[in-house]
Amino acid sequence: MKVLATAPSNEAPAIGQAIGRVEDLRLLRGKGRYIDDISLPGQLHAAIFRSSLPHGVIRSLDTEAARKLPGVHAVITAADLGRTVPTIPVRLFPLPEYQPFLQPVIAHDKVRYVGEPIAMVVAESPAVAEDALELIRADIDMLAPVVSLEDSRRDQSLLVETSGSNKGHYFEIGKGDVDAAFATAPYTRRERMYVHRHTGVTMELRGSLAEWDAERGHMTVWGASKVPFANRRILAGMLELQEESVDMIEGDAGGSYGVKGEFFPEDFLVPFAARLLGRPVKWSEDRREHLLAISHARDIEADLEIACGNDGRVLGIRGEIWANIGAYMRTSVVIAPRNSGQFISGPYKVENVGIHVAMQLSNKSPCGTYRGPGRYEADFFRERLFHLAAKDLGIDMVEFRRRNLVPESEMPYPMPGTAPQNNPTALDSGAYELVMDRCLSDAGWNEKLKLQGKLIDGRYHGVAATCFIEGGAAGPRESSRIVIERDGRASVYVGSSGVGQGAETILGQIAADALDVPYDQVQLFLGSTTYVKEGWGSYHSRSTVMGGSAILLTAEEIKRKLRAAAAMRFNCAPEEVEVSRGRLIASDGRSLAFADVSDQGITAEETFANHRHTYAYGTHVAHVAVDPGTGHVAVVDYVTVEDAGRIINPLTLHGQSIGAIVQGLGGTLLEHLVYDENGQMLSASFADYLMPLATDYPNIRSTAIGLRPSPFNPLGAKGAGEGGTIPVGGVIANAVANALSSLGVEPLELPLTPPRVWRMIQAAKRKPREG
């Protein structure tokens, strides 16, 4: 469905209008303020000397020649950090058991992945800093690299010798009595499946600019995004400063996708250098550094078994999942492995679940979150099992799913629990079957089925439909501060970050309605630690629900203060004053503008607290055409319908959905972070790491509907920034399987690049067919 943009309107309500993003006017005119647009007088420039080996013991590090190069101010190594090198903590769901596996901010005894920082040069210019890197010599005794999950499980070469194992930790995912369900099940099937390593590739690369004010004992860092308050807390602890002595300043951000904005080694090294040298220090990565050293994602293998009744009802799912988390446990590392097990049932009624999830260390870049973390993987595993089970049982693929969808009468429906650190959650609301039928209708499902498995003009056609849920609105809190300025405008400050998702526009719409003012009377300020006392940032599709709900609370307090101020002028009770369209109206008709009562300054700050997640949901339909001669998979048509609860802005939601789908298609069909058996990355540039082009997937139709609001927040909204990505791997793999059904191809591994699909076809041709 095409959603047409409207100009910002002062008509009420603002919520529900397809207002074009107000951010875009400055960004498209080149007036955005990204980290590379910011410079300070006297600033120096940093460059990182990174390990070229995946695993080894550092014997010596010779930096003398680099230090002597004219223009070099410092070469910082672990020796310059004192007796203890700080480590990067796990931000989400930390446990003491993770301590041995945390990443030091700079390597000091071993290197554990190609790209790990060993030293940092600080010089007068980026060119001088880069030249100095060439003069550093590292003597490293190479150890056997641990690359694959099989390598990791063998424990023959250990990343942390004192641990005795490469298993960083584990989760037990459970619900019901899974063994009993399997003991009596008339049908079971077990498969081993794999989702490959890829990551979020942002348009803007990482960067940081730090300035130390020695007189105030204060550090200011520009370039923060996603979670500035959490990163302030981490940095302050490492520098032994009070949190209030560190400011994280957020500018415009060229994307995050859950990847950019977490705490990385450079986020300590750059401020450390600024304090050490007494001058501002700036660092910007290049694309090769990004692909080598950013948090990677996916790279998860599953050995799962499904149990069904003869009628296709799913009785249980059990098995093991292994996540290749890379060399260290860093900030958000636990989320994808845990989600890959907890979300295995998705939108379906599965009463019995038992899955062991292991986090395995390897000599690859550490992993973190990426759009739909763990949920993309879980959907691929589940939907492939469903496809195979339906085929074995002779049940139509749509009917199989229809029989297993959670009925609306059972909402809220509990999801499997996790141990350790159980995080109980339940599907909040939804008419799953109704939305599935809407998507099938929009896709012209019955007509598409006529093409199933047909060879047309040299390509096999296949269609598939899958259902999904999208978790959002992670707590625990979010804060908002509103100031009525002297001119009557409302300045709205929110702890949520702007990472390219349109938060400035969406939260402005919420604020305009909550304050009952025209939209152009509101200005938004996002993310920076100078804006509110406490903020939690933007991840887990939370900014609209959590930030928006915080605005509602703050706006109520602001209106209370405005009524009180106006009542003094009117000589009446505050209850007799009405707030309407930016004016304060007494019962006798007298009125004042906000500016008339704001000369003394009217401000309020409130916090919204909530631990209950929202669950947007929907259905995706994919139509593909596969060339058996090359293995190329063309996406002929792609149709989605998603219920996101109360929709704040249909246009920004539509953009989020389309963008997420394209990211999912890129991750399923193109993108792959490839390491060889020696732990060297083979795809550290766009020549080898293939990204989707605008022309690759021209036929994507996405519809968002506001069918069932969430009962868990005052807006009724649901987080909906990741749902477009989550089902893509599963639905595309099923469509490819249906296209190649005459050949007996069943894709159980991603990505579905042309060489891989071609090899699957050749293997299927060589395999004897039953019957």
Whole-number Å distance between alpha carbons of 321 and 154: 16
Q: How far from 20 is each of 23, 25, 255, 506, 647, CA to CA, in Å?
A: 9, 9, 18, 10, 15
Nearest to 304 by CA among 381, 229, 242, 363: 381
Domain count, the chain: 3
pLDDT bucket at 5, cuts 50 / 70 / 90: low
What is the rounded distance in angstroms from the CA atom of residue 382 to the CA atom of residue 377? 9
Same-domain pairing of 256 and 274: yes
Answer left, alpha or beta for residue 470, where phi above 0 means left and psi between -120 and 50 means alpha.
beta
pLDDT tens-digit profile of 356-385?
999 999 999 999 999 999 999 999 999 999
- Same domain? For 227 and 121 the reply is yes
Question: β-strands 353-361, 314-326: how paired?
Answer: parallel
**How much is the average pLDDT of 33-37?**
96
pLDDT of 688-715, one tens digit each? 999 999 899 999 999 999 999 999 999 9
The secondary structure element, H or E, covering residue 293 is: helix 287-293
Backbone angles phi, psi at 587, to 5 degrees: -65, -25
pLDDT tens string 274-287: 999 999 999 999 99
Partnered with residue 358 across adjacent β-strands are 170, 322
Label residue 10 by pLDDT band (50, 70, 90). confident
For residues 439 and 587, membership in a common domain is answered with no
In a domain, 398, yes or no: no
116 close to 50: Cβ distance less than 8 angstroms = yes
Residue 634 shares a structural domain with residue 668: yes
**Average pLDDT value for residue range 654-661:** 96
Q: What is the mean pLDDT of residues 660-672?
A: 98
One-letter identity of residue 201: V
Phi/psi for 14 (5° steps) reads -75, -35
Q: Which of 609, 637, 659 is the last residue of a domain?
A: 609
pLDDT at 770: 55
Q: How many whole angstroms separate alpha carbon 615 and alpha carbon 411?
A: 11
Q: Report the predicted TM-score, pTM, of the whole model to 2 decimal places.
A: 0.97
92: left (phi over 0), alpha (psi -120 to 50) or beta: beta
Q: Give the CATH number, domain containing residue 232.
A: 3.90.1170.50
Does residue 1 register a pLDDT over 60?
Answer: no
Cross-strand bridge partners of residue 302: 193, 321
Q: Would you state the pLDDT for residue 767?
A: 82
Residues 645 and 687 in one domain: yes
What is the chain's mean pLDDT, rounded? 96
pLDDT at 761: 97
Answer yes or no: do 535 and 449 share one domain. Answer: no
Torsion sign, CA atoms 439, 440, 441, 445? positive
**Does residue 3 carry a pLDDT above 80?**
no
Distance of alpha carbon 199 from alpha carbon 373, whole angstroms? 10
Same domain, 602 and 662: no
Whether residue 646 is found in the same domain as residue 572: no
Percent of the chain scoring above 70 in pLDDT: 98
Q: What is the pLDDT of residues 673-683, one digit of tens each?
A: 999 999 999 99
Q: Is residue 702 part of a domain?
A: yes
Render pLDDT for 415-425 as a digit per residue (tens, 0 to 9): 999 999 998 99
Q: In sequence order, which ranges of 69-211 are alpha helices (DSSP H)?
A: 126-133, 149-154, 178-184
341, 114 contact by CB (below 8 A)? no
443 and 490 belong to one structural domain: no
**Within a domain: 339:** no
Quote the DSSP letter at residue 543: I
**pLDDT of the residue at 61:** 98
Question: Distance between CA atoms of 322 and 328, rounded to whole angstroms?
Answer: 15
Share of the chain above pLDDT 90, in %: 97
Phi, psi of 75 (to 5 degrees): -125, 110
Packed helices 375-393 and 335-342: angle between N→C axes, nearest 10 degrees: 30
- Whether residues 622 and 763 fall in one domain: yes
Helix (H, G, I), strand (E, B) or coil at 255: coil
Please check whether residue 717 lies inside any domain of the structure. yes
Give a yes or no: residue 189 inside a domain.
Answer: no
Q: 643 with 724, same domain?
A: yes
One-letter amino acid of 140 = I
Is residue 3 in some structural domain? no
Final residue in a domain of this structure, among 582, 609, 636: 609
Please write the tens of the pLDDT for every residue from 531-542: 999 999 999 999
Segment 568-587 mean pLDDT:
96
The whole domain housing 503 covers 23-32+474-609
Q: What is the rounded average pLDDT of the residues 185-189?
A: 98
Based on the domain organization, do 480 and 466 belong to the same domain?
no
What per-residue confidence (pLDDT) applies to 423? 85
Average pLDDT over residues 160-185: 97
pLDDT band at residue 18, thresholds of 50, 70 and 90?
very high
Domain boundary among 271, 293, 315: 293
Closest listed residue to residue 137, CA positions, set 77, 65, 48:
65
Q: Name the more confident of 479 and 770.
A: 479
pLDDT at 771: 46
CATH code assigned at 744 = 3.30.365.10
Q: Does the residue 366 lie in any domain?
A: no
Residue 7 has pLDDT above 80, yes or no: no
User: What is the pLDDT at residue 543?
Assistant: 96
Statement: residue 593 has pLDDT above 90: yes
Any domain includes 218: yes
Q: Residue 704's beta-bridge partner residues?
A: 642
Average pLDDT value for residue range 21-42: 94
